[in-house]
Amino acid sequence: MSEWGGGYVTDLEYGSGFYKEQAPGHLRLACQLLGVEPGPIEPGFTYCELGCGDGTTSLVLAAANPEGRFIAVDFNPAHIMHAREVARASGLTNVEFHECGFEELVDGRGPPMPAFDFITLHGVYSWVGPAVRASIVQFMGKTLKPGGIVYVSYNAMPGWAECLPVQRLLYDVAEHGRERSDLKMRRAVAVLARLRDVEAAALKDNYFVEDILKRTSVNANAYFVHEYLNASWQPQYHADVANDLAAAKLSYIGSADLLSNYVEFMLSPAQREIIEQSRSPQLRETLFDICVNRRFRQDIFIRGRRSMSPARQAAVLKRHAVTLTVPRSEFRYKLRVPAGEPRFPRRRSVPSPMRSRSGPIPSASCSNSSRAGPIGGCRLARSSSRCLVRSRRCS
């Protein structure tokens, strides 16, 4: 690894990927479904992605939101060069890419930054050390607007607890060599396989051992290198992340994985009873993660939390539109969730306009009821939106 990498893999570019959970509209919808008022969104809104990799997510979001200004940062010059080339070739003028470390953003060495409506980072927070995480939080506190939204995803504890000795083994073996990182990974995986074969006690019945060996037998690609061979590989407990971000006046809202916000879809009644006995939001999240053994969190925070009234929430949700993302013939009247597979009555679960036409329809069509009232209308709009979107056959 290069000295400027600070323990992060730099000789192999991270793979491309678009992550819809980082989209401004998705983050605002998540807040609204949870009854939280996001800040106003206006033409010229500002969006920052920290650790943008090759820029795919910011490029797609900039193309889809021409009224916004997108700024993406990564410390790897190869990533930034690629992102700028794609932006130029695509004719995108509302996105800019900066080669910059997170510490430079707050110590005066980085480029000047505006105040932001959104700050997102995907797959960064649990792969960098405490000093870098502190710089990230300081940057948020310095640049996020009141009402601004933060998205931060990370490897979560206790879901990764079983992998701690496996990752350390892979990292230590890889460090004893000078070859390229993907070749280091292959050598480390070979040692892991030998230890598995001789029934090393610390690796017996370990899910991650079998998963890594199976997947790397096909291709020891950049994902595995960047996942396991960074010096600061530190899966996080949600409570610790929430405490970190509280220093920037950020309050936890919920998950960008919409289904995770509804315990009735995720947990058994007995598990829910234990969680609901706790008055601490952070403890409830810890208990939830223990019940589902969550390995990856996609947390949403806001600077200045304001709750919506039921009437306000119903009105906002009814303004959203939903559309099928599959042919109507492939739509299924059921939703597969960790807690089971609920089925929905055909006439109530999908509105007749969706059954009979193409294109988006207002979510109000999913929940109209002249007798519902503001609270009932809110519940109908909220449940219709979350079920349709989470079915992955609508968006």
Cis peptide, bond prior to residue 158, ω within 30 of zero:
yes
Mean of pLDDT values over 243-248: 98
| Whole-structure pTM value | 0.88
In tens, the pLDDT along 135-174 reads: 999 999 999 999 999 999 999 999 999 999 999 999 999 9
At position 115, the amino acid (one-letter code) is A
Q: Residue holding tokens 């070749």?
A: 183
- Domains in the chain: boundaries: 3-158+235-302, 161-228, 310-390
Strongest mean pLDDT among 75-79, 244-248, 355-359, 373-377:
244-248
Homologous superfamily assigned to 3-158+235-302: Vaccinia Virus protein VP39 (3.40.50.150)
Query: Are residues 369 and 377 in contact, defined by beta-carbon separation less than 8 angstroms?
Result: yes
Mean of pLDDT values over 289-305: 97
How many distinct helices (H) and strands (E) make up the chain?
Answer: 18, 9
In tens, the pLDDT along 187-227 reads: 999 999 999 999 999 999 999 999 999 888 666 567 788 88
Give the C-alpha separation, 105 to 111, whole Å: 7
CA distances from 334 to 24, 294, 387, 390 (A): 28, 24, 9, 11
Nearest of 391, 378, 393 to residue 34 by alpha carbon: 378
Mean pLDDT score across all residues of the chain: 87
Give the C-alpha separation, 347 to 353, whole Å: 11
Share of the chain residues as helix, strand and coil, in percent rounded to the nearest 5: 50, 15, 35
> pLDDT band at 181, cuts 50/70/90?
confident
